[in-house]
Chain A
Amino acid sequence: MKIVILGAGQVGSTVAESLASEANDITVVDIDGVRLRNLQDRLDLRTVLGSAAHPSVLLEAGIEDCDLMIAVTQSDETNLVACKLAQQLFNVPTRIVRLRATDYLSNERVLGPDGFGVDLAICPEQVLTDYIAKLIEFPEALQVLEFAHGRASLVAVRAFQGGPLVGHPLRDLKKHIPSVDTRIAAIFRGDSPILPEGDTVVQAGDEVFCLAATEDIRQVMHELRRMDKPVSRVMIAGGGNIGLRLARAVERDYAVKIVEYDKRRCEILSTRLDRALVLQGDVTDEGLLEAENVADMDLFVAVTNDDENNIMSCLLAKRMGARRVVALINRRSYVDLLQAGQIDIAISPAQATIGTLLAHVRRGHVTQVHSLRRGAAEALEAVVHGDRDSCRCVGRRIEEVDLPKGAAIAAIVRGEKVIMAHHDTVVQAEDHVIVFVTDKKLLPKVEKLFEVSVGFV
């Protein structure tokens, strides 16, 4: 696949990185030569220096015969202009645009074919906000992912001593909660994945991925650990785009305090927020955290754009008594350093946000891709088409589907219903299949399964 990526910022480089490893022809355009050189040194791709909104630059990047354009520059306006050019002058089949301002989404004609011609508008800040908001709603979970328009959810939970299922084989789950249909999709012990069988015993410290209908999620989590009391007080460190969005999303339901260093930004924050309390100060200022009672916080979220600040403020907050701390960390080496340490959850923004993008790049009819465990594993949702002859899974029982070892069909969403996968469940055409892949290397094989063979129209 030929892909042109406009913008080599955080999102742009992460997308480039994750796509370059999947055998695509990638060209990256940016106005910053240093960034491009860094990227080219690390990855096998081409770079073009220039403004992404100029037709000549786009031509140079080979936009004429590319299959996919991803516009993720800092500026919404540049992205939109590039998208319109790609649609009108260069007939690019698929155009993905990053938009920060929600104003553009208010009228669908703005982005429609007669407007800017955007196929998919993504907003990484919004994805991250949703991610963190879910963690506030489910304080026990490490990660909560939704499939099939929110009907099914996948949660990652760390098993703790005291959960009814801990120390027992998985098949006991059915006895504990007979009314709930759930499936343990994978277990990670340390860093190695275990594909769960009926007699696998859950140990304390395991990271367990379970899939269930969204309304049953709490009951399933309850099997693995004692439930915490619900969150009521949240402190957000950093009032950037993510901090502001997060505060706006949760200020109605929780008592929110938001700390920001820049005074002018504080003014903007305090204007845009109705109930959240805006505090001016350094997020690593012990005195400020103390005065604002960080010890009573149920959740402390550090979302400044500086990894070190996020880590330090989280460590500080944890030591001062915050119940749970969440840090946004861009550098992967830091994430690996800190996971399961004093910071409860380390979120990698890039990994969390590229899922929607990846879905468009993947072959087959993949509608949803979620990166798990910092990109090492993936959960994807695909729609199957065709019949027994043209597709390798339609009309077959799950045990007959030829999945590579390390991948498993976790559930099927058929219309409104969420069906947990059993060995004898038969896959039908138009089902949404949720597949859990513990190793990214297996992806091409898995994707092939959901492709319709040539000849089928």
Chain B
Amino acid sequence: MVRLVPVLNVLSVVIVIFALAMLLPLLVSIIYGDAARNAYEVAVLVTFASGVVLWIATRAGRAELQPRDGFLLVALVWTVLPAFATVPLLIHASDLSFTDAYFETVAALTTTGSTVLSGLDRLPPSINFWRCELQWLGGMGIIVLAVAILPLLGVGGSQIMRAETPGPMKHTKLTPRITETAKGLWLVYAIMTLACALVFKTVGMTWFDAIVHSFSTLSLGGFSSHDASFGFFNSPAVEAAAVFFMAAAGINFGTHFLAFRKLSFVPYRNDPEAGAYVAVLAVSVLGIAYFLLANHVYPSFWTALRYSAFNVVSIATTTGFATTDFNQWPVFAPVWMLFLCCFATCSGSTGSGIKMIRAELMVRQALRELMSIIHPRAYLPVKLSGQRVENNIIFAVLAFMLIWGGSVIAMTMLLAASGLDIITAFSAVIACICNTGPGLNQVGPAGNYAALNDFQTWVCTVAMLIGRLELFTLFVVATPAFWRK
């Protein structure tokens, strides 16, 4: 049985920390003297007060969390925090509906990066900073952060972290203590973000742009402070830097952590996904560059390569930046890019989707079935990096794929029934469930999600959440058996 009170108690602490996270945009607002200062002051107070009240109300029932409670905690954190995050947006832009504001903050926290706002360049800097900071927090995971800085989750912390961390196999700990693992992951994440910001500054961004874009890049989010996204800078150097850091953020941060600690490239070679991931990206970038050249979209190969590299890597890693309206490209290219975003990123990265490791396991499982028809008596284990993968993991992956496919179809049907054309509906669901951002047609890189009605917006919001939490965490909370006493 799940105990609600202890979960709410932990939630209250997370809300208080979240209030502290709002101090940063307040600071930005004070520095730039923008119009949103008042909105942050209110938001910090409201959030902080709610957290404290909830804590006082539940403090009597404090208890160590059980692994099962973790699912509820994660589900609550990821649905409640975006609601608090909407406060500054709602106060600042009074014409914004709660539905749209909630969509915006969920898109930020889940690192989807699809927006209902337009005229980003005219927004107060603090609002843009807040959107990008949310992405950065959501990228590595809020619970991971909570485990890193607070001992409050105790031994159960590792199970709870697993409910938030993407990937089918989460049992390998990088360090003996879970807090150290969480700290290590966040440290690597922070260092890479800092490096990214410095590089962006060096290649020509302002400090403000460099910081907010490094947040979006490392979290594979996709928000920008400009309507034209990276097209605004129109600089090959900036794009190259972004491509590099996006590609890096699509690799397992556990692998980055090992590589940092040992100062060697060996962990990347031992990583079962990194090789396939880099190969898929490289082949796709070159292939689409040739494709664009052959279809006379761009006059020279180098121009084609430039646009292909940035947009393909951006979509495949589920980031969602754009330097051009790739919806105008011959249809194969954007469809292939959407296909890539479904599985290209590695588990334990800040990207979403099915994950490369599941794709690899599926391919191997399929080959195993074929082989076992030819050799009925053969023992054919599915192996990754020379290690045998247990059948229960394969079953879990199969179930994941089934639910994933089912969810995509169901939500596409809902959107189509509500009046969207099928390409928009399907691409919007894919772009949301993979936390990518731009889809095709109406929700393509040139348009945005503002045109959707409230029902459609909520469907997309749900898609983003179940995509970020990899289905099971949310679905298990929704089953009656979970609540049965």
- Residues of A that sit less than 8 Å from B by CB: 266-267, 269-271, 274, 277-281, 288, 291-292
CA distance A266 to B378 in the complex (A): 9
Interface 9-mer from B260-268, B291-299, B379-387: B379-387
The reply to whether A291 and B381 form a contact with Cβ atoms under 8 Å apart is no
The reply to whether B381 and A288 form a contact with Cβ atoms under 8 Å apart is no
The reply to whether B379 and A266 form a contact with Cβ atoms under 8 Å apart is yes
The 3 closest A-B pairs by CB, nearest first: A270-B379, A278-B379, A271-B388
Q: What are 15 A-B residue pairs whose CB atoms fall within 8 Å in the complex?
A: A266-B379, A267-B381, A267-B388, A270-B380, A271-B381, A271-B383, A278-B379, A279-B375, A279-B377, A279-B378, A280-B378, A280-B379, A291-B376, A291-B377, A292-B375
The reply to whether A277 and B381 form a contact with Cβ atoms under 8 Å apart is no
Among A271, A274, A277, point to the contact of B378 (Cβ < 8 A). Answer: A277
Contact residues of B: prevailing secondary structure: loop
On chain A, the residues within 8 Å of B388 by CB distance are: 267, 270-271
On chain B, the residues within 8 Å of A269 by CB distance are: 379
Question: Which residue of chain B has the shortest Cβ distance to A278 in the bound complex?
Answer: B379
On chain A, the residues within 8 Å of B377 by CB distance are: 279-281, 288, 291-292
Distance in angstroms from A261 CB to nearest chain B CB is 11
Question: Which residue of chain A has the shortest Cβ distance to B388 in the bound complex?
Answer: A271
The reply to whether A270 and B381 form a contact with Cβ atoms under 8 Å apart is yes
Question: Which residue of chain A has the shortest Cβ distance to B387 in the bound complex?
Answer: A271
Question: Which residue of chain A has the shortest Cβ distance to B376 in the bound complex?
Answer: A291
Q: List 14 additional A-B contacts (Cβ < 8 Å) besides A266-B379, A271-B388, A292-B375.
A: A267-B379, A270-B379, A270-B381, A270-B388, A271-B383, A271-B387, A279-B375, A279-B378, A279-B379, A280-B377, A280-B378, A291-B376, A291-B377, A292-B377
- Residues of B that sit less than 8 Å from A by CB: 375-381, 383, 386-388
Question: Which residue of chain B has the shortest Cβ distance to A274 in the bound complex?
Answer: B386
CA distance A274 to B386 in the complex (A): 7
On chain B, the residues within 8 Å of A292 by CB distance are: 375, 377
Most interface-central of B378, B381, B387 (chain A CB within 10 A): B378
On chain B, the residues within 8 Å of A279 by CB distance are: 375, 377-379
CA distance A267 to B389 in the complex (A): 11
On chain A, the residues within 8 Å of B386 by CB distance are: 274
Distance in angstroms from A334 CB to nearest chain B CB is 29
CA distance A281 to B378 in the complex (A): 9
Distance in angstroms from B397 CB to nearest chain A CB is 19
CA distance A240 to B63 in the complex (A): 52
Distance in angstroms from A128 CB to nearest chain B CB is 24
CA distance A22 to B328 in the complex (A): 90
Question: Which residue of chain B has the shortest Cβ distance to A263 in the bound complex?
Answer: B379
Distance in angstroms from B279 CB to nearest chain A CB is 20
Most interface-central of B376, B377, B386 (chain A CB within 10 A): B377
CA distance A266 to B377 in the complex (A): 11
CA distance A266 to B381 in the complex (A): 10
CA distance A288 to B379 in the complex (A): 14
With contacts A267-B388, A270-B388, A271-B388 taken as known, whether A278 is within 8 angstroms of B378 at the C-beta atoms is: yes
CA distance A279 to B386 in the complex (A): 19
The reply to whether A277 and B375 form a contact with Cβ atoms under 8 Å apart is yes
CA distance A277 to B375 in the complex (A): 9
On chain B, the residues within 8 Å of A280 by CB distance are: 377-379
Distance in angstroms from A271 CB to nearest chain B CB is 4
CA distance A270 to B391 in the complex (A): 14
On chain A, the residues within 8 Å of B383 by CB distance are: 271
CA distance A269 to B380 in the complex (A): 10
CA distance A288 to B378 in the complex (A): 10
CA distance A400 to B381 in the complex (A): 64
On chain A, the residues within 8 Å of B380 by CB distance are: 270, 278
On chain B, the residues within 8 Å of A277 by CB distance are: 375, 378
CA distance A291 to B377 in the complex (A): 9
On chain A, the residues within 8 Å of B381 by CB distance are: 267, 270-271
CA distance A291 to B374 in the complex (A): 10
On chain A, the residues within 8 Å of B387 by CB distance are: 271
CA distance A270 to B383 in the complex (A): 9
Question: Which residue of chain A has the shortest Cβ distance to B371 in the bound complex?
Answer: A277
CA distance A278 to B387 in the complex (A): 16
Distance in angstroms from B281 CB to nearest chain A CB is 26
On chain B, the residues within 8 Å of A288 by CB distance are: 377
